[in-house]
Amino acid sequence: MFSRLKRMLRASAPAADAPVLPLTPPQSMQVQTPEEALPELGLIDMSLSGWFRNETGELLEDFPILAQDSVLDIGCGDGGFTAFAGRQGAEVFIADINQENVSAAVKRLQETPARAVHPLITDGDPIPLEDGRVSRVIAMEVLEHVDDPAKFMAELVRVAHPGALFLLTVPDAAGERAQQGLAPESYYRKPNHIRIFERDEFESLVRSAGLTVEKRLHYGFYRTIWWMLYWTTDHPPLHEADSNPLIEKWREMWGEILSTPQGRKIKQALDEVLPKSQVIIARKP
């Protein structure tokens, strides 16, 4: 099954050292995510949504990172996405409230040709950078954790220069509601997810910050179901969760679906209905 998927995705699948999906917010979380040990199928599923286009230098389709770029990754987790920027030779600012996350991200970046690496310990209020300092801003699964999203967005916009691109993601409201009643109550309390963004609310937040929305994307149906199944287990360590019989069966089923001639269409339809995340690529005028 996976050999067939690999052949099918040869042009777009990430390299062996491609970053895995951290989705780690700037706070230390009681409930962490499985993407830091993302299995091969998870990377294949993401590549089908346009992530990790090593051949074009796009972290996500239409979000290129060039060697001359200065990239801020805020809420960087252990640096999975940041490492992609480093491999493009960019200057990278690693920002997180958690010192361990920043240290792990720095270690990753040291193994890339990044032209400069700047660690920042910050909660984003404020971001310790001068106005207009960066050309790319990455804020993945962060806004649902902050007390004042509009204020946080204003800081992101302040440190970006005109023309800068933004890659912003939050959990999708449909996926979040699907987990309610299954996930522990702590999942929806500070420092975890303290708000759920409706799709129009997320776009309004970005536009109100003065940005121009250039692309919207919803992805991660596979991961939404993964989480729903995970909450029904005894919550083993995340790196062991895929060995749970129920989760393993789901992984095998999704791989079989993706291997069918209509697999991509099925994925696209379900990613719209029950995605894990919603994505906006925006530009500062």
Question: What are 126-152's pLDDT values in tens digits?
Answer: 999 999 999 999 999 999 999 999 999
Which of the residue ranges 88-97, 144-153, 234-243 would you say has the lowest mean pLDDT?
234-243
Please give the pLDDT value at position 84.
Answer: 96
* Mean pLDDT score, 188-198: 94
- At 143-185, the pLDDT tens digits run 999 999 999 999 999 999 999 999 999 999 999 999 999 999 9
pLDDT at 41 over 60: yes
CA dist 266 and 45 (Å) reads 12
Please give the pLDDT value at position 89.
Answer: 97
**C-beta of residue 72 within 8 angstroms of C-beta of residue 138:** yes
pTM: 0.86
Please give the pLDDT value at position 39.
Answer: 56
What average pLDDT does the chain have?
Answer: 88
CA dist 74 and 97 (Å) reads 9
Report the percent of the chain where pLDDT is more than 90: 78
| Six token digits for residue 93 | 């600012």
Please give the pLDDT value at position 24.
Answer: 32
Please give the pLDDT value at position 37.
Answer: 41
Please give the pLDDT value at position 164.
Answer: 98
Categorize the per-residue pLDDT at 80 as very low, low, confident or very high, splitting at 50, 70 and 90: confident
CA dist 258 and 5 (Å) reads 7
Q: Rounded to the nearest 5 degrees, what angle is found at the Cα of 29, between the Cα atoms of 74 and 243?
A: 110
Return the CATH number of the domain spanning residue range 2-283.
3.40.50.150
Q: Where are the domains of the chain?
A: 2-283
Please give the pLDDT value at position 236.
Answer: 82
* Mean pLDDT score, 247-261: 95
* Mean pLDDT score, 221-234: 94
CA dist 259 and 267 (Å) reads 11
Please give the pLDDT value at position 91.
Answer: 98
Q: Give the burial string for 5-16 (b: 16+ CB within 10 Å, else e).
A: beebbeebbbee
> What is the chain's alpha carbon radius of gyration, rounded to the nearest angstrom?
18
